[in-house]
């Protein structure tokens, strides 16, 4: 899973004003990076222009997926990833980044901001791009879900996994002093009933 671009743009103007952007293009050849960055900038401007305010959408183009979140205040976040990147993590991060950007850069300053100066007015964007490379770090819910899945995997060992070599559960039930006669009978009846199915 890879995140290539994280950008913030302002809707409403022509050309679209990209306020901040960060790129991670190290997986591409050195001589391809300039062209790919141009394509990413074109993609950001195009989807910002064509996404209605208040809409979240995911757009697939070749091997890239663009996650776009256009807010009602005219601010749009765009994240370009590979096809494997989870949509939930992308929109969770975009929401956080847009909120943080609004706090750091008030709307009155947007007209003076340019993507080329991102390092000065919003250096945190690059850090967000680095964090986004791991979707579990980008989305706290995914991190918790992964921990739950790991725990479930440990708990789902079957009784056969716990039995020693050559042992059978029937023999253990018959030898057990911890089970009453009634419980042993219940086990045998349940086993016979389930074997018919």
Q: Do 114 and 168 share a domain, yes or no?
A: no
pLDDT digits (tens, 9 = 90+) for 56-66: 999 998 888 99
Q: Do 101 and 56 share a domain, yes or no?
A: yes
Q: What is the mean pLDDT of residues 119-127?
A: 85
Q: Do 13 and 88 share a domain, yes or no?
A: yes
* The pLDDT of residue 63: 84
Pairing of strands 3-10, 17-23: antiparallel
Can you read off the two tokens belonging to residue 37?
């960055």
pLDDT digits (tens, 9 = 90+) for 62-110: 888 999 999 998 899 999 999 999 888 899 999 999 999 989 888 888 7
**113: in domain:** yes
Residue pair 51/144 in contact (Cβ under 8 Å)? The answer is: no
Structural domain range at position 184 = 157-195
* The pLDDT of residue 107: 81
**143: in domain:** no
Chain-centroid distance, C-alpha 43:
21
Of the chain, the percentage scoring pLDDT greater than 70 comes to 87
Number of structural domains the chain divides into:
2
Higher pLDDT, 117 or 41: 41
156: confidence class by pLDDT, cuts 50, 70, 90: low
pTM: 0.70
**73: in domain:** yes
Separation CA 114–CA 193 (nearest Å): 73
Q: What is the DSSP string of 12-53?
A: SSSS-EEEEEEE--TTS-TTTHHHHHHHHHHHHHHHHHHS-T
Separation CA 77–CA 69 (nearest Å): 5
């Amino acid at each position: 899973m890879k995140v290539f671009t994280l950008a913030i743009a302002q809707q409403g103007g022509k050309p679209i004003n990209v306020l901040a952007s960060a790129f991670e293009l190290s997986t591409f050849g050195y001589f391809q990076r300039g062209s790919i960055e141009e394509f990413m900038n074109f993609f950001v401007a195009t989807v910002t222009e064509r996404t209605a305010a208040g809409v979240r959408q995911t757009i697939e183009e070749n091997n890239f997926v663009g996650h776009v979140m256009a807010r009602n205040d005219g601010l749009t976040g765009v994240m370009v990833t590979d096809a494997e990147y989870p949509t939930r993590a992308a929109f969770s991060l975009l929401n956080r980044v847009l909120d943080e950007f609004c706090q750091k850069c008030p709307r009155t300053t947007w007209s003076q901001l340019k993507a080329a100066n991102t390092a000065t007015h919003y250096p945190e964007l690059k850090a967000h791009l680095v964090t986004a490379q791991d979707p579990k770090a980008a989305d706290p819910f995914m991190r918790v879900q992964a921990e739950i899945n790991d725990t479930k995997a440990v708990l789902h060992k079957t009784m056969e996994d716990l039995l020693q070599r050559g042992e059978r559960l029937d023999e253990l039930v018959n030898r057990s002093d911890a089970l009453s006669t009634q419980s042993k009978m219940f086990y045998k009846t349940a086993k016979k009933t389930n074997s018919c199915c």
